[in-house]
Amino acid sequence: MEDKMPDAQTYEYESGVTKVAVPNDFAKSRRISNDSHLELSIVDQATGDEMTLGVDDFDVQGYGDEELIITLNEAVPAGSHLKVLGGRSRVGRRPLLHKLGMRVGEDNTSKIIPAPSITIKATGFQWGWTYSYPDFGDFEFDSLIAPKETVSSELFRLATTNDVVVPAGETVRIVTTGRDVIHAWAMPAFGTKIDAVPGRLNETWFYTENEGTYYGQCSEICGIDHAFMPISVKVVSREEFEAWVNEQADLNGLEPFFDTTDQLAAAEVPADVN
């Protein structure tokens, strides 16, 4: 399934609602057609905390049609909003709930994955990677093995000179190609491995909510320094990601893509010393 892009869409509705009409505007073969394709949650607007609703908390009419009518047992509380996530791409320990005789809401080990919000192009070469971000002016940078003297012994052949940076909780599309011979972009922590072939574009995707730095390697024998082509992905908050994109834009002579004035102002507010 790694070569099939998730296509789930997110819809949000204000507090107080009990009935909503949700577009089901996928291609007919991809429409939301049963409760395994839906996730509903109540989101606290102050904290961002989400409470997932069980299948007995709402009723759905129109599965397979161009519009779904969802009726809640109780109105959305004040200070909260309803989030509806609809799509057919699901990951987790039990991605095929219905085939296992289970219903959504009885098991929290699988999750509908939203459509990609970011695309990154990874070009393999002997022996390193070039990454570009076409959504943000197509800036690019090379990522090579970090020199042995600059990293700990545990990270040598894992760490790179430049990390791929992505936001947590968003689906990332990776498009691969090769500049000279066949390489392969592999990130075990994400369950992702795809060839980077000269003259061809392959694509895959990954999703994680856990911030941190993850390491992978080129996994296609590509020459004498094949073992020296590490991959590193740094997963950060959305705010950190936007600040990083602006930094890269500046380095490449581009205008900033995000207005971080409010974020900077909040960070500069002195702590209450009373």
The ranges assigned to domains in the chain are 9-112, 118-251
Mean pLDDT of the chain: 88
196/272: higher pLDDT: 196
pTM for the full predicted model:
0.80
Mean pLDDT across the stretch 145-172? 96
Q: How far apart are CA 75 and CA 18, in angstroms?
A: 5
Per-residue HEC secondary structure of the chain comes to CCCCCCCEEEEEECCCCCEEEEECCCCHHHCCCCHHHEEEEEEECCCCCEEECCHHHEEEECCCCCEEEEEECCCCCCCEEEEEEECCCEEECCCCCHHHCCCCCCCCCEEECECCCEEEEEEEECCEEEEEEHHHCCEEEEECECCHHHCCCCCCCCCECCCEEEECCEEEEEEEEECCCCEEEEEHHHCEEEEECECCCEEEEEEECCCEEEEEEECCCCCCCHHHCEEEEEEECHHHHHHHHHHHHHHCCCCCCCCCHHHHHHHHCCCCCC
Mean pLDDT across the stretch 131-143? 96
Band of the pLDDT at 110, cuts 50, 70, 90?
A: confident
pLDDT in tens, 17-60: 999 999 998 888 888 998 888 999 999 999 989 898 988 999 99
The hierarchical CATH code for the domain 118-251 is 2.60.40.420
Q: How far apart are CA 172 and CA 166, in angstroms?
A: 8
Band of the pLDDT at 96, cuts 50, 70, 90?
A: very low
Residue 3: its pLDDT value, please? 61
Mean pLDDT across the stretch 76-92? 89
pLDDT beyond 60 at 259: yes
pLDDT in tens, 159-169: 999 999 999 99
User: Is 93 within 8 Å of 100 (Cβ atoms)?
Assistant: no
Pairing outcome for strands 170-178 and 183-187: unpaired
